[in-house]
Amino acid sequence: DLLAKAKKRCDHPEVLRVILSRLIEYGVTLNPEKCVFGVTGGKLLGYIISSRGIDVDPTKIRAVLEMVPPSDESGIRSFLGKLGAIRRFIPDLSFAVHPINNLLKKDYSIDWTEDCNEAFEAVKRFLLSPPTLMPPKLDHPLILYSRATNVSLACMLAQEDDNKRER
């Protein structure tokens, strides 16, 4: 997949010219039936790209929301695998799913506890309104959040928008 983006619409033809000439130079061909030009957003590699930013593809969220609590190792791996594709949208995911990850350790039995169920449901609740990832505004200060526990280390950059809402 290939995405060509320009800051201004008037610059887009030049960006395309440079990219297409580079593809020709290296003998890369494109399937015209799969090419889309001049759009302001769309689906790319499992994400929804728009002028707002990057969102998780709703089908990926639905796949997690429709899961029932896993009862075996295969189900646990399936759940964690689905989360792996969208982990950048879930703050401190490794901490959140720590009780579930423990079930995959060598000396642990698959005993789905209340802690596991709480973690499972918390992730699903969070995915009901996931964040949109946006590029930083260079004229706004950045806010750094960090968290360190005995099981995870996480950080997140945020900014306030013009309405003083954190994004």
Indicate the range of 43-57, 93-107, 148-162 predicted with least confidence: 148-162
Which of the four pLDDT bands, split at 50, 70 and 90, describes residue 98? very high
Q: Is pLDDT above 80 for 123?
A: yes
Task: Please provide the average confidence, as pLDDT, over all residues in the chain.
Answer: 91
Max Cα-Cα span within the chain: 60
Residues of the chain with pLDDT > 90: what percent?
A: 58
Average pLDDT of the segment spanning 73-88:
94
Q: Check residues 160 and 108 and name the one with the higher pLDDT.
A: 160
Place of tokens 């889309």: 36
Q: Which residue has the higher pLDDT, 44 or 75?
A: 75
Residues ≥6 apart with Cβ < 8 Å to 157 = 136, 142, 143, 144, 145
In which element (H, E) is residue 17 found?
helix 12-25
**pLDDT tens digits for 16-42?**
999 999 999 999 999 999 898 888 889
CA nearest neighbour of 3 among 40, 58, 55: 40
Task: Tell me: pLDDT of 107 over 80.
Answer: no
Give residue limits of the domains in the chain.
9-49, 57-126
